[in-house]
Amino acid sequence: MRMLLIHSDYLEYEVKDKALKNPEPISEEQKKGRLDEVLAVFISVEKVDESNPDEVVEKAVKEIKDVAEQVKAERVFVYPFAHLSSELAKPDVALKVLQKIEEKLKEEGFEVKRAPFGYYKAFKLSCKGHPLAELSRTVVPSGEEVS
Ligand SMILES: C[C@@H](O)[C@H](N)C(=O)N[C@H]1[C@@H](O)[C@H](n2cnc3c(N)ncnc32)O[C@@H]1CO
């Protein structure tokens, strides 16, 4: 799994079109979303993660929590982003992984939004620009190699 973490004044998105034949079903309300003072986490779930999705969820949540504590962010935006890897996991696995990350971050006490899965989306992002505002992390199941 590849993650790009951007500490932002805000992230807002608007769903434009389907990018998969069967995207995640969403309500009218989910077609737009915004969070202010947020750690935006753009995530590409990778094929290598399919060998142990639960472990990679745990590792990802630990990394996100660690960065959020360093930048003092209380909100996290989980953003499915198929552009950080050339070896993507299958959509059904990827969606489950992203849903679990959202769930576990909420259990950790964060306010969390997750952008809809399987769509083209317009988005606006305001990066804060401090030294820890732009970070990347890679997590893989134990025993797997980071490519
Ligand atoms: C397109 C661009 O504007 C938008 N931002 C987009 O990326 N849309 C992606 C993700 O929402 C999701 N998706 C599919 N597979 C994956 C995966 N392995 N990991 C993460 N997301 C995935 O399916 C869409 C098409 O790949």
pLDDT digits (tens, 9 = 90+) for 62-108: 999 999 999 999 999 999 999 999 999 999 999 999 999 999 999 99
Q: Do 72 and 52 meet the contact criterion of CB atoms below 8 Å apart?
A: no
Three-state helix/strand/coil letters over 50-68: HHCHHHHHHHHHHHHHHHH
pLDDT at 146: 79
Atom of ligand 1 nearest to the CA of 89: 18
Per DSSP, 27 falls in state: -
pTM: 0.97
Pocket, ligand 1, Cβ cutoff 6 A: 19-20, 43-45, 80-83, 88-89, 91, 94, 117-121
CA of 28 to the centre of ligand 1 (A): 20
pLDDT at 147: 75
pLDDT at 128: 98
Question: Which amino acid type is present at position 52?
Answer: N
| Residues 137-147, mean pLDDT to the nearest whole number | 90
pLDDT at 144: 87
C-beta atoms surrounding 46 within 10 Å: 25
What is the value of ipTM here, to two decimals? 0.97
pLDDT digits (tens, 9 = 90+) for 44-65: 999 999 999 999 999 999 999 9
Please list, in sequence order, all residues whose beta carbon lies within 8 angstroms of the beta carbon of residue 27, skipping any fewer than 6 positions away.
none
> Residues in the chain, how many?
147
Per DSSP, 98 falls in state: H
